[in-house]
A and B are shown apart, each in its own frame.
Chain A
Amino acid sequence: EAAVTQSPRNKVTVTGGNVTLSCRQTNSHNYMYWYRQDTGHGLRLIHYSYGAGNLQIGDVPDGYKATRTTQEDFFLLLELASPSQTSLYFCASSGGGGYAEQFFGPGTRLTVL
């Protein structure tokens, strides 16, 4: 069974704060993704990665940085958090492109006051 974990599960910060969201997968997958989910919208891709040291820009990258330190670990960084970044963040991993299934973590709820 594929396993993707995220931490923290909940985070509250203030405007201008510095936040790091962590994701770890134990599936030996090459691909990892960060999404945000907002009411009334489908999941939107922030950043993704093909492997350790690789980073690709998604559809809504503004205000976010990401880093893939190992095959297992993918981090999302908000260096100057804003209220518009209040959202539910999901990490996912997959073994390939095409129609390879993406396996999702449980999500991190971030609130920026």
Chain B
Amino acid sequence: KTQVEQSPQSLVVRQGENCVLQCNYSVTPDNHLRWFKQDTGKGLVSLTVLVHENDKTSNGRYSATLDKDAKHSTLHITATLLDDTATYICVVGVNRGSALGRLHFGAGTQLIVIP
């Protein structure tokens, strides 16, 4: 059963527009949530991490929110650029008390930015 669901599966926006990506999860206990950007054929690069209930983060044109009660996160990208074309992956971390927390990955949202 998929424990991290992302929507939409894919999205096309025009350069300069804003967009919002969604992540819903059922992972428990949820320790933290991280958003990654994956360029085609490349590895994952962390954009931001959210740890606390109702956390909000900002990293340049990327901002994210986390609602642990609702088990929901959003990633906002403002004033999109062509270089934002990538897959954005939501990852929920579980800390089971051991030193190593297990990660649960969403399948990603493929964002395409067109001129």
Q: What is the interface of chain A, defined by CB distance below 8 A to chain B? A: 4, 31, 40-45, 48, 50, 56, 90, 92, 96-99, 101-102, 104-107, 109
Contact = CB atoms under 8 A, between A and B. Distances in A.
Interface stretch (B14-22, B41-49, B57-65, B71-79): B41-49
9 contacts: A42-B106, A44-B105, A92-B44, A96-B99, A99-B34, A99-B93, A106-B43, A107-B41, A109-B41
Contact of A42 (B31, B99, B100, B108): B108
B49 A90 contact: no
Contact of B31 (A96, A98, A109): A98
B68 interface: no
**Which of A42, A50, A99, A102 has most chain B Cβ within 10 Å?**
A42
A56 B103 CA distance: 14
B34 A48 contact: no
A105 B43 contact: yes
B3 to A, nearest CB: 9
Q: What does DSSP make chain A's interface, helix, strand, loop or mixed? A: loop
Contacts of A97: 95, 98-101
B89 A42 contact: yes
Contact of A102 (B2, B31, B103, B106): B103
Nearest to B32: A99
B113 interface: no
Contact of B51 (A99, A102, A104, A106): A99
Contacts of A99: 31-32, 34, 49, 51, 93, 95, 101
A56 B89 CA distance: 25
B4 interface: yes
A41 B107 contact: yes
Contact of B100 (A43, A50, A101): A50
Nearest to A30: B99
A71 to B, nearest CB: 16
A54 B92 CA distance: 25
A98 B95 contact: yes
